[in-house]
Structure 1
Amino acid sequence: MLAAMPPPAVSPQPTGESSVRARGDACPGSLRLHHADDGALARVRVPGGVVTAGQADVLGELALRLGEGDIHLTSRGNAQLRALAADCGAELALRLGESGLLPSPRHERVRNLVASPLSGLDGRGCGDVGPWLAQLDALLCGSERAAGLSGRFLFALDDGRGDVDALGADLTLLARDDGGALLRIGTAATALSVPGAHAARAALLAAEAFLDAAPDAGTWRVAELPGGAEALLDAVVRALGRAGIDAAHVAAPARPSTAAAPEPGIVTGGRSGTAALSVGVPLGRVTAAQWRLLSDTARRAGDGTLRLTPWRGVVVPGVLPGRAAALLDALGSAALVTGPRSPWEGVGACIGRPGCAKSLSDVRELAAAAVGPVGALPVYWSGCARRCGHPHGRWVDVVATPEGHEVSVVHGDSRGAPVAVAAGPDALATAVAAARG
């Protein structure tokens, strides 16, 4: 099963705009705080979304004592703390380090690993990616070269079901039925088949090869390399060969067009005989009370861990099947999404006003007002053209403009004709519902 890294000893989408690249990668972390309109923001990397109940307690304590009290989940399964005091950095780093959430200060922004959140829990997929997750995180933290990766560079560990493969990572490990792995490099038409025992090492070597191939520090993603992913493929093969890792060229499987989130409810089918609880979080914002309930449920009734998903949900593994229904009811009573066909299904938004100075609209309030029947497509509300945290695949894009809002359907790199809505919330909700189908 997915496992959190044991706490080691602690030491005390690209914009392409030259103005952004000139100042370097400003992606926030837990040591480099971002200063928003509502205070400082810390983004705590959680590889694979896995936190222990004890680590969750620390995050909740820090959010309450140093910030607004809520935990904000991100599209990479990380946790953000908002409205922090400007002088809280030293205390924040110390407590995160003590809890094991900051195993290597030099690598804290590069531990960008997403993993299939139900891997090992429902009998689906080709293998449990938990061992790869722990190995790759440890290898990243042990590589001085890897510290040079951008905070935007993304690894995905997919158990074969295609959920996180659809997120468009720079490097993706796909589990195979034979116990091996496919290493997908960006959008290259050819993937590399590698032994499962060397999958994590192969991913690290590929990341280091990317750094060697990058023409400058402003090249953050594989797609930005001269020649793109295809140009990197041969360099990765050579790096694997020098490391004694056999790699065979195979046609890369088609990447799923939509990243499918775990359905809310009770999850069964894992080898352990236990169940898991999958819940959604409206707009990815977990209140202090909800977070405490999730942590307590994991500690007292689960295996002691939580899994934060890239779809801003939470999975509680290791629950006895006979207790699952009652536990799920308790989570539902706390206003978490616990079943299918919730009006919140597929609805997301950036922080918007008043938290972000660049936002032109309070998109969270508008999204809540527009929640209605479940649509065929997910919808994401953005307060400005940056579209921070937007989903992948096919989705409805609602973006604030100086004149109002624009609504369009996005499918990969293509975008339908936008519908401009200058009227009030009711007209906007109608336009969004029509676009969602």
Structure 2
Amino acid sequence: MLAAMSTAPLRPSPQATAAPRDRGDACPGSLRLHAADDGALARVRLPGGVLTVRQAEALATAARDLGDGDLHLTSRGNVQLRGLADGCGAALAALLGAAGLLPSPGHERVRNVVASPLSGLDGRGAGDVRPWLSALDAALCASEAARGLSGRFLFALDDGRGDVAGLDADVTVRAAADGRALLGLGTPDPVLSVASADAPRAALLAAEAFLHRVRESGTKAWRVTELPLAPDALADEVRRRLTAEGADHEPWHGGAAPVDHEPWHGGPAPEGIAGGPPPGVIGSALSVHIPLGRLSGLQWRELTQVAAAAGPGELRLTPWRGAVVPALGLSGTDAAAALARLAAVGLVTGPGSPWLRVGACVGRPGCAKSRADVRADAASALAAAGRSGLPLYWSGCERRCGHPRGDRVDVVAAPGGGYDLSAVRGGHRTPGASIADPAHLATALAAFFPA
């Protein structure tokens, strides 16, 4: 039975206010491995989620020879390698370096950039952000100051459709219809308009200005929203730096940035966990969703081989645990055959799949804090997703790591076993049922969302 309880507003995110830090940034990378319960973990930064086929093959080799064999996608379009053996760090670094995945060892944890994955492929958006992506990554790796950024600091390059602009980036650059770029700091709302050619430089200057303000304030802020500053103070610092470098810029007074068409949020399920591009053929691209963000060696190999045959030989991993394959070299018949090939190995290639409405943290055995194997339980209760008026997110504990933004049902492993359910709507949480067995999830959800 559902408990009759009043709704309560969610507590503000720890990234929304100044946060004192009593330790250094321990965010894992390719060279700084994290000790997890299932072995060491490496997080490989892939700016914009972009990989060549050769780089994808190198990651598959690393997962097979050094880790658990699978590739785990993150909410920033990066790849995690799990189950790594002790002492494999040197071998991993050599493998990744040879594939061009470590352009600067001193910057490898700060290359956190999300970008509109369909940019330049579907005729939407106000401009192609790929040139910005290459230029920003090169500028980051050339900046000595940028080495001081936290592994959690995030850049977002939005082509104007508004998809990655809502991912809580520290620096957001959005293409505008007038050919310029709009710069946001800590929020997607712009504070400056800059010439498109100066957009990557403006993004880097904003990050360097943030670091300067961190030093001046004596804080240990990792994110822009943690700085104890007046709202316009960081923008003023960025303006001064742009002026000093002769960059074309002007204040933005237009309110919220315009969106070129409405962004996608998971195809036919507009509030789906998946978000991002819906699966299928979109313009000159193939789009797939990866259930729970985990790819087996076989699935990764099929995806890589499709990318190799599609023309540019490129993969774009999305922040919504999906993948986009630029398919400029495929006919309509070939594209359909490629999607069928990917569907045969368990990837989601069309609308209607319940996997588009289900997400989960890593759970057991990878996380010591998790109380349950949430991925296995989410898979066993997959059919129940259709009974929910909201997408479902499974968590092994109350931290709810990796949970999506927006409305959802949280399914959280309880201390004594089973799961506690709560619904998040409009920033308010409604506590609901407790279930002892995931097999009873459908009944509990029916009480949340009566017919």
TM-score, structure 1 normalization? 0.90
What corresponds to 1:399 in structure 2?
412
CA contact (8 A) 1:189 1:230 kept: no
Aligned pairs (5 A) from 1:91-130: 91-130=91-130
Q: 2:340 aligns with which of 319, 323, 329?
A: 329
Question: How far has the Cα of 1:232 moved from its partner?
Answer: 1.4
Shift, 1:99, TM fit: 0.6
Hey, what does 2:220 align to over in structure 1?
A: 218
Contact 2:162–2:263 (8 Å) recurs in 1: no
> What amino acid is the match of 1:347?
V
Shift of 1:348: 1.1
Secondary structure of the residue aligned to 1:381 is strand
Give CA-to-partner distance per residue, 1:14-64, whole Å, 9 cap, x none: 579999932211111111101111100000000000000000000000100
- Structure 1: runs of 5+ lacking an equivalent: 1-12, 269-274
1:428 aligns with 2:438: no
What is the RMSD of the two structures over their aligned residues, measured on CA atoms? 2.4
Question: Partner residue of 1:191?
Answer: 191
Which residue of 273, 276, 289 maps to 2:285?
Answer: 276
Q: 1:168 deviation in Å?
A: 1.2
Query: What secondary structure sits across from 1:174 in the alignment?
Result: strand
Instruction: Tell me how far apart the structure 2 counterparts of residues 360 and 94 of structure 1 sit (CA, whole Å).
Output: 36
Indicate how the Cα distance of structure 1 residues 283 and 189 shifts in structure 2: closer, same or farther if over 3 A, else same: closer
Shift of 1:258: 8.7
Report if aligned partners of 1:71, 1:288 keep a CA contact under 8 Å in 2: yes
Call closer, same or farther: CA 1:203–1:18 in 2, change over 3 Å.
Answer: closer
Where 2:192 maps in the other structure, the secondary structure is strand
Q: 1:116 to 1:182 in 2, by over 3 A?
A: same
State how far apart, in whole Å, the 2-side matches of 1:179 and 1:338 are: 34
Structure 2 Cα separation of the partners of residues 391 and 397 of structure 1? 10
SS at match of 1:397: strand
Residue 20 of structure 2 contacts residue 219 of structure 2 at CA under 8 Å; is this kept in 1? Answer: no
Q: In the superposition, relative to structure 1, how do residues 233 and 18 fare at CA in structure 2: closer, same or farther (>3 Å)?
A: closer
Of residues 232, 239, 259 in structure 2, which corresponds to 1:237?
239
Distance 1:433 1:124, change over 3 A: farther
State the TM-score, normalizing by the size of structure 2.
0.87
Q: Matched residue of 2:299: which SS?
A: helix
SS, match of residue 416 in structure 1: strand
Residue 396 of structure 1 contacts residue 432 of structure 1 at CA under 8 Å; is this kept in 2?
no
* Conservation of the 8 A alpha-carbon contact between 1:185 and 1:229: no
- Assess if the C-alpha contact under 8 Å between 1:47 and 1:137 holds in 2: yes
Of 375, 380, 383, the match for 1:364: 375
Q: Which segment is superposed worse, 400-409 or 52-61?
A: 400-409
Partner in structure 1 of residue 428 of structure 2 = 415
Separation (CA, whole Å) in 1 of partners of 2:128 and 2:420: 41
C-alpha distance in structure 1 between counterparts of 2:292 and 2:449, whole Å: 17
2:158–2:174 CA contact under 8 A, matched in 1: yes
Structure 2 stretches lacking a partner, 5+ long: 1-12, 266-274
Q: Per-residue CA shift, 1:220-245, capped at 9, x if unaligned?
A: 01110103654312111111111112
Determine if the alignment matches structure 1 residue 246 to structure 2 residue 248: yes
Whole-Å separation in 2 of the counterparts to 1:384 and 1:377 = 20
Task: Confirm or deny that 1:140 pairs with 2:155.
Answer: no
Using the aligned pairs only, state the percent identity: 60
Quickly say closer, same or farther: Cα 1:14–1:95, change in 2 above 3 A. farther
Match of 2:51 in 1: 51
Structure 1 distance, partners of 2:413, 2:169, is 27
Counting matched residue pairs gives: 418
Q: Say if 1:144 and 1:79 are closer, same or farther in 2 by CA, change over 3 A.
A: same
* Higher mean displacement: 371-380 or 283-292: 371-380
How far does residue 317 in structure 1 lie from its aligned partner after superposition?
0.6
CA separation of 1:32/1:151 partners in 2, compared to 1, >3 Å: closer, same or farther? same
User: Are the aligned partners of 1:258 and 1:392 in contact in 2 as well (CA < 8 Å)?
Assistant: no
Shift of 1:395: 2.9
